[in-house]
Amino acid sequence: MEETVQFTLNGKPTKLTVDSDRKLLWVLRTDLGLMGTKYGCGESFCGACTVLVNNEAVRSCQTIVKSVRGKEVVTIEGLAKDGALHPLQKAFMDNDALQCGYCTPGMIMNAYALLRKNPRPSPSQIVEGMEDNLCRCGAHNRIVRAIQAAAKEMQGGK
């Protein structure tokens, strides 16, 4: 049903009139023009479409727009603040934690939610938390290292 939905998108109030049963992934990519969130499998198996809703990682391919009404949505485009990369973004670069880069936005968003819940995860907690995000190029071990490095950076290097 077409209706007006309001939510916060990357820190900015957003209002759009849309069939509110549409999936957030497609609304982000078409109506809102944010192309960083990727389609990978359409059935929440791969995590390429991961975004944050109220700081929880969700699969935007399975999230209907009306469910984010009044909530805070953050996509990969909203992670860098005032041109400064988020420590996770920087750590992915420094650790070469990507190859083709297609799964990368989803990986970073999932890792962001993971670090919010557990700011000092052990490597095995990172593996567990990232398990359902798929990468075909085989950057897994470097992604784990990048998340560890970012966690350390976010703790003030301790």
Residues engaged in binding other proteins (CB under 8 A): 22-23, 26, 30, 33-43, 45-46, 48, 75-77, 79-80, 85, 89-90, 92-94, 96, 98-105, 108, 126-128, 130-144
CA end-to-end distance (rounded Å), the chain: 50
How many whole angstroms separate alpha carbon 49 and alpha carbon 81? 21
Please name the residue that has the structure tokens 């798929």: 134
CA-CA distances (angstroms) from residue 70 to 17, 32, 75, 81, 92? 14, 17, 16, 22, 31
Nearer to other proteins, 55 or 100 (CB): 100
Smallest separation, CB 126 to other proteins (Å): 8
Smallest separation, CB 42 to other proteins (Å): 6
Give the count of alpha carbons within 13 A of 49, CB side only: 21
Strands in the chain per DSSP E: 2-9, 12-19, 50-53, 56-59, 72-74
Smallest separation, CB 76 to other proteins (Å): 4
Nearer to other proteins, 37 or 58 (CB): 37
How many whole angstroms separate alpha carbon 65 and alpha carbon 54? 14
Smallest separation, CB 156 to other proteins (Å): 22
Smallest separation, CB 111 to other proteins (Å): 11
Nearer to other proteins, 139 or 158 (CB): 139
Tokens read off for 86: 């988020």
Nearer to other proteins, 138 or 157 (CB): 138
Nearer to other proteins, 33 or 158 (CB): 33
